[in-house]
Amino acid sequence: MFRYATGIASALIVLTTVSAEARTRYGYETVDGHRIFFREAGDPANPTLVLLHGFPSSSHQYRELLDELSDSYYLIAPDYPGFGASDFPSAENYSYTFDNIADTIDTFLEQRGLDRYSLFIQDYGAPVGMRIATEHPDRVQTLIVQNGNVYEEGLNRETWAPIMALWEGGRNAEIEAQIAATVFSLEGLKWQYTHGTRDPETILPDNWLLDYQLINREGQHEMQLGLFYDYRNNVAKYPEWQAYLREHQPPALLVWAKNDAFFPEPGAEGFARDLEDVDYNTLDTGHFALEEDGELIAGKIRDFLTARDIR
């Protein structure tokens, strides 16, 4: 950017630039034959933040955070297979389960040479990230949790009721059609971004417009519904993940949106109960808190990591 300073006798033009390392960069890493898209920013010599996205989004949800923190940290945000700009292989060529997605992202991180990092987990990022953390507890320096749930009390049973009906009775075409008609509709996707926000008119429409285009590709509904059904296996792993927290005690920053319709605040209280070093923050916003409180969250992350001498 340019900054101008003028005086009586002369004009001084000062040019300030953003370093190439600080700018967000985009690329692909091939993992087991599938191209995984990622965004990265910052100097790889700095402390690493791995940003794991939620549903129905992608690394796009971290676009501003990469800009905010790239001066002091190295940030990398991959898209899961079938999400964002990553490959969307057929079900015959890729198993769309949380176990397999976590394996893919774990391999992605290893191929990128990342073996020490903080994990930012939100929504789907929690079951992906917690699988990685329990597999490699020595690699996780801290957890940054934004409505990334690992406690049964952190599930809003009212909004989860249609999906829970699948868990209890098995996959059902009629119920799945009802879910698809609402959750995958343009209005349904918009609701996920705007519900619970202080000022819905400030939320970028590109979010749900992009998600709508991606989620209505051929085969996407079946894949996404399969992940909804597989989510029951995440709940079954909650005790294992809670045991990891109690045993390994990773320092945790909680930036929890209290108006989240899917993961209410009792989920944050679970982390606070099991961990000794917790920076607990409740935000007056909705599910995708970065859309409304991105600058605030970036500041919290910077203060949290600095206070714990993460380097």
Catalytic residues: 287
Distance between CA atoms of residues 301 and 142, nearest Å: 11
Q: Residue 248 contacts by C-beta under 8 Å, 6 or more apart in sequence?
A: 137, 140
The CA-based diameter of the chain, rounded to the nearest angstrom, is: 81
Taking residue 234's Cβ as centre, other Cβ atoms within 10 Å add up to 20
Q: Dihedral of CA 264/60/24/1: which sign? A: negative
Pairing of strands 74-78, 34-41: antiparallel
Which residue from 12, 65, 13 is spatially nearest to 42, judged by alpha carbons?
A: 65
Cα Rg for the chain, rounded, in angstroms? 20
Give, as one character, the DSSP assignment of residue 94: -
Distance between CA atoms of residues 147 and 283, nearest Å: 10
